[in-house]
Amino acid sequence: MTLKGDQMEFILFINLLVGNIFLSTGLSKCFSLTAFEEAISQFTNFRNPKIIGLISRAFVVLEILCGGLLVCSFLYKVAAILVIVMLIMFSMLIVRHLNKKNESYLSLWRSARK
């Protein structure tokens, strides 16, 4: 399957857009790593600061690496797969966190009704 000029330009545009988003968010997390570690500790069950530090640094490196690869259009298929995996993982953590919050609100509401 060969791609036409318009399709290639669109793919390059998407690579640059998503790459810049991940590169900039990775760099911003790099400069405020303690806030990112606190956010990770709220969304996960890990309480060991070493594990949270390792996870936060790994995600920052992956974001910067994948963003840079997408911007440079080098190994962009591998970078796109890694970006998708990271987005799925974060989405699952957020949904899990929201479900826990809703359960706690429901239990408070039920106890208040009794």
Q: Is 113's pLDDT higher than 70?
A: no
Distance CA 83, CA 16 (A): 13
Domain boundaries, the chain: 5-113
Residues in the chain: 114
Average the pLDDT over each of 16-20, 31-35, 89-93 and give the range with the smallest value: 89-93
Token output for 97: 């966190």
Q: What is the pLDDT of residue 112?
A: 67
Average pLDDT of the chain to the nearest whole number: 83
Sign of the C-alpha dihedral computed for residues 31, 90, 58 and 71 taken in this order: negative
Which residue in 27, 53, 50 sits closest to 40, CA to CA? 53
Top-confidence range, 9-13, 44-48, 95-99? 9-13
Q: What is the pLDDT of residue 91?
A: 85
For the segment 22-30, the average pLDDT, to the nearest whole number, is: 91
